Amino acid sequence: MHLDWWTLGLQTVNVVVLLWILKRFLFRPVAKIVADRQAAADVELRRARQARAEAEKARDAARTATSDIAAQRAGLLVRAEEEAEAEKAKLLEAAEAEAEAAREAARAELDRMRAAETQALTDAAGTLAVDIAERLFARLPEEARINGFMGGLVKAVSALPDAARAEIASAGPVRLRAARALTADETDRLEASLSEVLAHPVEVAVESDETLIAGLELDAPQAVVRNHFRADLDLIRQELTRHD
């Protein structure tokens, strides 16, 4: 077999030149394009990773915010429930206090009404008792309506101060009111008894007053001496109807 070294050498040179041309104008640009594409891909990948990280961060923030909102909502609900319970208790307490005040007022009004009714019954009973006594006293014998009271009147006059008795004695006729007109004998006996206690002769001027029921009343500027049933009954009525 015969080798053509010139041809082989020329082919070798052609191969070398072809490889240099390919490297110069094909491989390097392609490699650069690939490198640029790879760099761009890396940039996009980094951006994508950054965007993903930001999205995850935003998601975590949203979850945290959601949890915070839920916690705040739960807190608000608890606080609102506590405030509602407190307001409910306050309203119940106020209602109970108002009801108790109303009950106290009702009890006080009931006590007042009972006291007023009791007092009214007492007054009515006192008035009735006095009226009955007045009717009974009005049935006394005529003699008893005067004679039974002369001694009491004279005794009361004798108990007056000396100055009052002296003025009564010197003032002229002693004015008297009597439950009925006095007989001449009763007038004489009364004048004699009064003259004795007044230490001076006196005359009496008697005015009949049936409202006295029974008894006598001495009416002088210096003193008034009552000894009759009307005064006694008025005192009894006053005591029975007194509002302490």
* Selection from 227, 153, 232 nearest residue 196 by Cα: 153
Q: Which of 51-55, 103-107, 200-204, 236-240 has the lowest mean pLDDT?
A: 51-55
Task: State which H helix or E strand residue 170 sits in.
Answer: helix 162-170
Average pLDDT, the chain: 81
Write the pLDDT tens digit of every residue in 62-84.
777 777 777 788 787 778 788 88
Identify the residue whose tokens are 């009416």: 219
Task: State which H helix or E strand residue 51 sits in.
Answer: helix 28-137
Q: What is the pLDDT of residue 132?
A: 63
Q: What is the pLDDT of residue 202?
A: 92
Identify the residue whose tokens are 């070798």: 12
Residues with Cβ < 8 Å from 144, sequence gap 6 or more? 214
Mean pLDDT computed over 174-199: 94
Measuring CA to CA, how many Å separate 110 from each of 12, 97, 181, 205, 241?
A: 139, 19, 53, 56, 21
Whether residue 196 contacts residue 151, with contact meaning beta carbons closer than 8 Å, is answered with no
Query: pLDDT: is 4 or 154 the higher one?
Result: 154
Please, which pLDDT band fits residue 85 given cuts at 50, 70 and 90? confident
| Distance between start and end Cα atoms, the chain | 166
Write the pLDDT tens digit of every residue in 153-179.
999 999 999 999 999 988 889 999 999
Q: Domains plus CATH for the chain?
A: 142-240 (3.30.2320)
Q: What is the pLDDT of residue 59?
A: 79
Residues with Cβ < 8 Å from 134, sequence gap 6 or more? 213, 229, 233
Q: What is the pLDDT of residue 138?
A: 59
